[in-house]
Amino acid sequence: MKNDNYGQITSYDIKALKEKCMGDDLYQVQFHYTIEFIGRENCFYVDTNYGYWKLDNETNEWIEIN
């Protein structure tokens, strides 16, 4: 879990992203990621092998950033 003064990202959030990215391959390959908090946007970004994702604070949904 990653915390800061503005919010947090939990293991449940990461698990939801893993399931969204990997689908049926969930237990067959490793899931590597890097978490970054962008203060000016007050949100978390996660860089994975499956793309760059933003956790929307209002809906708690993952949005892929292209």
Residue 65 is predicted with a pLDDT of: 93
For residues 41 and 30, give the distance between their C-alpha atoms in angstroms, rounded to a whole number: 29
Q: Please count the CA atoms within 13 angstroms of the CA of 12 that sit on its side-chain side.
A: 3
pLDDT at 52: 94
The pair of structure tokens assigned to 9 is: 């990202």
pLDDT in tens, 12-55: 999 899 888 887 765 666 788 999 888 777 788 999 988 999 99
This prediction has a pTM of 0.75
The tokens for 11 are 């293991």
| Residue-level pLDDT at 41 | 78
pLDDT of residue 31: 82
Q: In whole angstroms, give the CA distance from residue 24 to residue 18.
A: 11
Task: Note the pLDDT of residue 39.
Answer: 76
